[in-house]
Amino acid sequence: MESFVVFAILIGAVACILFAIAANFVGLWFQAFVSGAPISFFGIIGMSLRKVPAKLIVNALITLKKAGLKEITSEDLETHYLAGGNVPDVVRAVIAADKANIQLDWRRATAIDLAGRDVFDAVKTSVNPKVIDCPSATGMISAVAKNGIELLVRARVTVRTNIAQLVGGATEETIIARVGEGIVNAIGSAESHYDVLTSPQTISEAVLNKGLDAQTAFEILSIDIADINVGSNVGAVLQSEQAQADMKVAQAKAEGRKAMAVALEQEHKAKLVEAESRIPLAIAAAFEKGQLGVMDYNMIKNMQADTRMKMAFSLDREKA
């Protein structure tokens, strides 16, 4: 008798557990049925067996059906969940895109989500464009006009998400880099920095016409110059440095010419000393041959003494 009671209690406990589980499944099935998003009872049980949260799928499907997106099935939701996707975010993104008349089907939305992008944020950015500071930090873009004057510029770029290129498209960093490059090129093409200061919109137009958003996840709507300041005279600095370099080169060449002149002078002095050393030998040879007499020799000596005396007087005057 006691064993029968225990058995009955066990049967009752198992029945209660099964009833609770079945009630949960029945509740989800009934909720989906009355909401116009019917799912088979065994389909809900199958989700539980596949470790898929049935309540999440049912609620997502009901939300889609109520939003008028009836082509998306519970199998699509379950597949995306099993692939590691964020089902609620994708559902919200698809509904928001549909309400905003943005072309975003379920397949593309799930691909964007699985690629690691925030698909709901992308849709919001498509509806409400955002502003990107260029450069992103507190610095300024430095560019030099043709007259050598440096300009410091900060721009604000208004973009919206390009859903078609969100997967594989370049990010904000690429937009910032391309806009900065375009601003530098535009200012560098200006004849004078005054042209840029008087018409800064010409920079925006020149940069915007370059198609800088190609192969990116964004579409550039506008580029506005937020701040522009005059920097240093880069051209004058470069010319000054070039002049100093040219002066050093000229000094080096002058030193070289001076050294060559000194060497040539020393060479001439050596030749002169050599020539003077031959004079006594020439005089002796002339005496031997009878070509020079004593009177002639005395005249030569007097001329040499007179020359030395004049040179001494000249040196004394220079010192005085």
Domain residue spans of the chain: 15-127, 131-236, 278-320
- Residue 129, classed as helix, strand or coil, is coil
Whether 7 shows a pLDDT value over 70: the answer reads no
Is the Cβ–Cβ distance between 110 and 60 less than 8 Å?
Answer: no
Q: What percent of the chain lies above the pLDDT cut of 70?
A: 85
Cα 33 from Cα 27, distance rounded (Å): 10
The per-residue pLDDT for 19 is 47
Give the total residue count for the chain.
Answer: 320
C-alpha pair distances (Å), 102 with each of 20, 97, 109, 122, 219: 44, 5, 12, 11, 14
Whether 36 shows a pLDDT value over 80: the answer reads no
Work out the burial of residue 103: count CB atoms within 10 Å of its CB; fewer than 13 is exposed, 13-18 middle, 19 or more buried.
Answer: exposed
Structurally, at CATH architecture level, domain 131-236 sits in: 2-Layer Sandwich (3.30)
Longest pairwise C-alpha distance within the chain: 176
Give pTM, 2 decimals.
Answer: 0.61
The residues facing 147 across adjacent strands are none
Cα 184 from Cα 143, distance rounded (Å): 5
Of 231, 208, 198, 229, give the one whose Cα is nearest residue 156.
208
Residue-wise pLDDT for 168-216, tens only, equals 788 888 888 888 888 888 888 888 888 888 888 888 888 888 888 888 8
